[in-house]
A and B are shown apart, each in its own frame.
Chain A
Amino acid sequence: KAGVTQTPRYLIKTRGQQVTLSCSPISGHRSVSWYQQTPGQGLQFLFEYFSETQRNKGNFPGRFSGRQFSNSRSEMNVSTLELGDSALYLCASRVAAGEGTEAFFGQGTRLTVV
Chain B
Amino acid sequence: AQKITQTQPGMFVQEKEAVTLDCTYDTSDPSYGLFWYKQPSSGEMIFLIYQGSYDQQNATEGRYSLNFQKARKSANLVISASQLGDSAMYFCAMRGVSGGGADGLTFGKGTHLIIQP
Contact = CB atoms under 8 A, between A and B. Distances in A.
Interface of A: 31, 33, 35, 42-43, 45-48, 50, 55-56, 58, 88, 90, 92, 97-108, 110
Contacts of A43: 91, 93, 105, 107
Interface stretch (B37-45, B71-79, B80-88): B37-45
A45 B105 contact: yes
Nearest to A31: B102
B102 A97 contact: yes
Instruction: Identify whether the interface residues of B are mostly helix, strand, loop, or mixed.
Output: loop
Contacts of B52: 99-100
Contacts of B110: 42
A55 B105 contact: no
Contact of A99 (B33, B44, B109): B33
A58 B104 contact: yes
A99 B104 contact: no
A56 B44 CA distance: 23
